[in-house]
Copies of this chain bind each other. A is one copy, B any other.
Amino acid sequence: MTTVAATALSGVIPPVCTPLTSDFEVDVPSLERLVDFLIDSGVSGLFALGSTSEVAFLPDAQRRTVLETIVRHAAGRVPVIAGIIDMTTLRVIEHAKVAAEAGVDALVATAPFYTRTHPVEIEDHFRRVAAATSLPLYAYDVPVSVHSRLDAAMLLRLGAEGVLAGLKDSTGDDNGLRCLLVARDDAGLAQFRVFTGSELTVDSAYRMGVDGVVPGLGNVDPAGYVRIAQLCTDGKWDEARLEQERLLRLFDLVNAAPADRMGRGSSALGAFKTGLHLRGVIASPLAAPPQIPLNEAETAHVRTRLEAAGLL
């Protein structure tokens, strides 16, 4: 639980799934097993309450339980970063306080959403959130959820001023990511840490200069992501590519359910949790409502992908 570690994060930091009981409470024993599973696989940190953690689905009490469980059970083995995802500044600051009380090492916030926002307001938002906490603050660029983009110049300005410690990039826009990375390096801002949220371009992202990866699929195969990150760090690019392509084929488990049965979010998250369930890590694949549970055929699709990836 060192702030030093949290301000120099790198490597694989999976967004930790939130196992649930049948009445949608946090399944604490399963979450503890998941924390061990991830740390034992060699991850560098744990991102609690990210999108893949169903942060948007969890009431505040469950959010608090998640943070307290992960911090307590990680017990300083790796830093814990907490998503403080909410619509606007004052609500985000409330989550920041809860997360700090729970003992996390760093925070992750998005731009405002639901409201129609503006670059000037987004910058002010990050400044206010950072001013309200002593923890390092990471920006989370996730247009599929918040429907706006973070401006690269703004990010680096806030990085240079010490307002932001870094970025989780879930834009899927590797051109933009690379422009940011080159601009960061040209500005001598190596302390501004950049993570890709893409499961499928880890080797590319490392070649561009990212500090690490935050892969949702890293719940199901953390060892794979630890392996590819190490191969990238060691400059073994051909092996990294092969590992990435194995993970890409595994990623197809997110297409378990057809588009007329449920949303892509339900299908992906259901597949991750089903994967964890089939691998014996969590007790139930249940996701929070109104997500649709995978049926038998969809579960079989996940199993097939796990087997092909050598995970069952």
> Which residues of chain A have a CB within 8 Å of any CB of chain B?
24, 51, 56-60, 62, 85, 87-91, 94, 112-118, 120-122, 124-125, 128, 144-147, 172-175, 178-179, 182, 186, 198-201, 203-204, 207-208, 237, 241, 245, 248-249, 260-266, 288-292
A128-B90 contact, Cβ under 8 Å, with A116-B265, A201-B178, A266-B121: no
Number of copies: 4
Residues of chain B within 8 A of A62, CB atoms compared: 90
Closest to A62 in B: B90
**A248–B186 alpha-carbon span in the complex (Å):** 12
A262-B121 contact, Cβ under 8 Å, with A91-B57, A114-B146, A175-B198: yes
**A232–B147 alpha-carbon span in the complex (Å):** 36
A128-B289 contact, Cβ under 8 Å, with A57-B115, A114-B146, A182-B249: yes
Residues of chain B within 8 A of A121, CB atoms compared: 262-263, 266, 290-292
Q: List 9 A-B contacts (CB under 8 A).
A: A57-B87, A88-B290, A90-B288, A120-B262, A121-B266, A124-B289, A175-B200, A204-B204, A204-B207
**A24–B90 alpha-carbon span in the complex (Å):** 9
Residues of chain B within 8 A of A288, CB atoms compared: 88-90
